[in-house]
Structure 1
Amino acid sequence: MKPLLEVSDLHVTFRSQHQEVKAIRGVDFTIGEGEVVAFVGESGSGKSVTFQSIMRLLPQPPANIDRGQVLYSGRDLTKLSEVDMQKIRGKEIAMIFQDPMTSLNPTIRVGKQITESLMRHQKLTSQEAKNRSIELLKMVGIPSPSERINQFPHQFSGGMRQRAMIAMALACSPKLLIADEPTTALDVTIQAQIIDLLKDLQNNTGSSIVFITHDLGVVAEIADRVAVMYAGKIVETGTLDEIFYDPKHPYTWGLLASMPKLDQSRDQDLASIPGSPPSLVNPPVGCPFTSRCPYAMKVCQEQMPEVTTSSDSHQVACWLQHPDAPEVKNPVASAGR
């Protein structure tokens, strides 16, 4: 599969007068053409910051890309001017943000917010852009699009606002669509509709999709590959089956164990990962999951584990993969999940 986006050794820091927060600490990954890759992890693990950095949307200062390479179709996005980035945003790379109510301008009609992108990037006339906007709203399942196009965001329901955001992101047929927790604030029925919509659009357009979420149930429905993030680092990547049925990292085990089970009784407590993620003001020198890991060893505190390749598509950063490490039974694989 030909790579569309290649990220190498990305480091992002937020600086203030009093401290530095090392939000992203050496992230490496590749997104192939036509591929759907899910990025999962707890809140604060760096998922959204990674892709906002790639799109150069973080204000500088306080954010700063300390080092790293972000190759999109062979061009390093970290080296481009703001003018050149504006030509890429929306046209070639588009993003669906977490909260459509704060991402949509409440004082501008929804149709106007869609036509702006079409007129800027596609050079359409006002009427052509309006007609295309109506088609987009219809495509994402908004009823009476010719009427809805003249309404303001507050006149849309939560699900409809999310669909409008998807229509805006798809307006210029981007090659890469970044969906940042697009179903978090929606009920399960609307979540299923949004997932089906994204799957249909991906099948019809062939676009690559990055799906950022902490909901592993959603991941199982849409992803080809999964990247697990923790404390500003990717700790495991693999195909959907590899992550769900043969995960290697204890953090991934914890995430999967915390998923509710259909056969779970009502009086049975939900599983959780004890403790909290480490502070990224002074991140640990060793594995960031050490303080919460029941299998932690002395070396985990002292040194960051190197990435181990389990298969061509499966990599993990954990000292348990070292030949000298004690054998630990994989609780997910043994449970036949």
Structure 2
Amino acid sequence: MAKVLEVRDLHVSFKTYNGEVQAVRGVSFDVNKGETVAVVGESGCGKSVTSQTIMRLLPSPPSMIKSGEIMFDGKDLTKLDEKQLEKIRGAEIAMIFQDPMTSLNPTMTVGGQITEGLMKHQKMSKEEAKKKAIEMLRLVGIPSPESRISQYPHQFSGGMRQRAMIAIALSCAPKLLIADEPTTALDVTIQAQIIDLMKELQEKVGTSIILITHDLGVVADIADRVVVMYAGKVVESGSLDEVFYQPKHPYTWGLLASMPRLDQSSDQDLQPIPGSPPNLLNPPKGCPFAARCKYAMKICTQEMPETSDVSSTHRVACWLQHPMAPKVEPPAMAVGGE
């Protein structure tokens, strides 16, 4: 399958008064044409920093791309200047941000924000862009798009603003769509509609999607592959079935055990992961999850585990995969139900 994006050994840090925060530490993953890759993990694990680095949206300073490659369409995005990036952003790679109220321009009509990209990247006339904008609003399910196109973001509800963001992002039919927590702060009914909409548009347009989220329910509904991040590193990656039904990393077990399930009895409590993520000003030299892991061995605190192949598509960075490690089965709560 053709690869749309290849992230290779990406390291991103932030300069602060207290020192260097190593936010992303050697992240690697691919996105194939027409597939959805979910990047999951707790807040602060490096998901959003990774996605914003792909778009080159982080201000520098304080952010720094220390090393690594982000290959897109034969070009390394880390090497491009601002003028070259402007031709790619919006046209070939688009992003749906976490909070549409702060991402949409409050001084511009919603229609104006859609037509701006169409006129710039597609070289459409004002009239052509307006017709396309109405078509996009209709496509994302906004009623009466002919009148809504002249309204401002504050005149839209939360769900409609998120739909408008999707319309803006997809208006130029990008090859890659990055959705950063696209359903946060929306009620469950609207969440389901947004996910269904993204799946429907993906089928129509053929766009590849990177979904940044901590909601494993959303992941189960839309993702083809899953990348699990912790403390700026990828600790496990594989197909949806591999990560949900054959998870190998104790952190993945913890995430799955903390997710409510339909087959769970009412007297069963959710199992939170004890402790807190490490301070990335001074990350541990061994496995970053060792301090919170009840299966941790001496080696876990001393050396970073190598990433090993469980299958051709399933990879995990954990000392439990070593031939000399004790055999440990995941808790029942940490394996997805049928």
TM-score bin (small chain) = over 0.9
CA distance in 1, matches of 2:162, 2:280: 32
- TM-score with structure 1 setting the length: 0.98
Partner of residue 177, structure 2: 177
Partner of residue 242, structure 1: 242
- The superposition leaves residues 19-46 of structure 1 with CA deviations (integer Å, 9 ceiling, x where unpaired) of 1110000001111111110001001111
Q: CA deviation at 1:184?
A: 1.2
Partner of residue 20, structure 1: 20
Partner of residue 206, structure 2: 206
CA distance in 1, matches of 2:177, 2:49: 16
Please show how residues 157-196 of structure 1 align to structure 2 within 5 Å. 157-196=157-196
**8 Å contact kept, 2:286–2:305:** yes
CA distance in 1, matches of 2:335, 2:222: 23
CA distance in 2, matches of 1:335, 1:35: 24
- Counterpart of 1:91, as a letter, is A
- Counterpart of 1:207, as a letter, is T
**8 Å contact kept, 2:247–2:253:** yes
Please show how residues 125-164 of structure 1 align to structure 2 within 5 Å. 125-164=125-164
Secondary structure of 2:70's partner? strand
Partner of residue 102, structure 2: 102
Partner of residue 271, structure 2: 271
Q: CA deviation at 1:117?
A: 0.4
Identity %: 69
In the superposition, relative to structure 1, how do residues 288 and 58 fare at CA in structure 2: closer, same or farther (>3 Å)?
same
Partner of residue 35, structure 2: 35
Q: CA deviation at 1:265?
A: 4.4
Partner of residue 217, structure 1: 217
Q: CA deviation at 1:263?
A: 4.0
- Counterpart of 2:312, as a letter, is D
**8 Å contact kept, 2:244–2:335:** no
Q: CA deviation at 1:227?
A: 0.4
Instruction: Return 5+ residue gaps in structure 2 as ranges.
Output: none
- The superposition leaves residues 291-325 of structure 1 with CA deviations (integer Å, 9 ceiling, x where unpaired) of 10010011100100000100010000000000000
Secondary structure of 2:53's partner? helix
In the superposition, relative to structure 1, how do residues 121 and 18 fare at CA in structure 2: closer, same or farther (>3 Å)?
same
CA distance in 2, matches of 1:280, 1:10: 15
**8 Å contact kept, 2:253–2:334:** no
**8 Å contact kept, 1:246–1:332:** no
**8 Å contact kept, 1:255–1:273:** yes
Instruction: Return 5+ residue gaps in structure 1 as ranges.
Output: none
Q: CA deviation at 1:262?
A: 2.1
**8 Å contact kept, 1:36–1:208:** yes
CA distance in 1, matches of 2:300, 2:182: 35
CA distance in 1, matches of 2:55, 2:320: 35
Q: CA deviation at 1:335?
A: 5.8
CA distance in 2, matches of 1:8, 1:50: 12
CA distance in 1, matches of 2:123, 2:248: 49
CA distance in 2, matches of 1:269, 1:16: 40
Secondary structure of 2:247's partner? coil
Secondary structure of 1:11's partner? strand
Secondary structure of 2:174's partner? coil
In the superposition, relative to structure 1, how do residues 239 and 256 fare at CA in structure 2: closer, same or farther (>3 Å)?
same
CA distance in 2, matches of 1:7, 1:335: 28
Instruction: Count how many residue pairs are aligned between Structure 1 and Structure 2.
Output: 337
**8 Å contact kept, 1:246–1:333:** no
> Which one is further off, 100-109 or 266-275?
266-275
Partner of residue 327, structure 1: 327
Partner of residue 311, structure 1: 311
CA distance in 1, matches of 2:112, 2:334: 54
- The superposition leaves residues 179-207 of structure 1 with CA deviations (integer Å, 9 ceiling, x where unpaired) of 11100111110011011100011111111
**8 Å contact kept, 2:91–2:172:** yes
Residue 51 of structure 2 corresponds to residue 46 of structure 1? no
In the superposition, relative to structure 1, how do residues 336 and 36 fare at CA in structure 2: closer, same or farther (>3 Å)?
closer
**8 Å contact kept, 1:245–1:332:** no
- Counterpart of 1:202, as a letter, is Q
Q: CA deviation at 1:18?
A: 3.1
In the superposition, relative to structure 1, how do residues 129 and 239 fare at CA in structure 2: closer, same or farther (>3 Å)?
same
> Which one is further off, 131-140 or 16-25?
16-25
Residue 233 of structure 2 corresponds to residue 233 of structure 1? yes
Partner of residue 66, structure 2: 66
Q: CA deviation at 1:264?
A: 3.5
In the superposition, relative to structure 1, how do residues 300 and 158 fare at CA in structure 2: closer, same or farther (>3 Å)?
same
Secondary structure of 1:107's partner? coil
- TM-score with structure 2 setting the length: 0.97
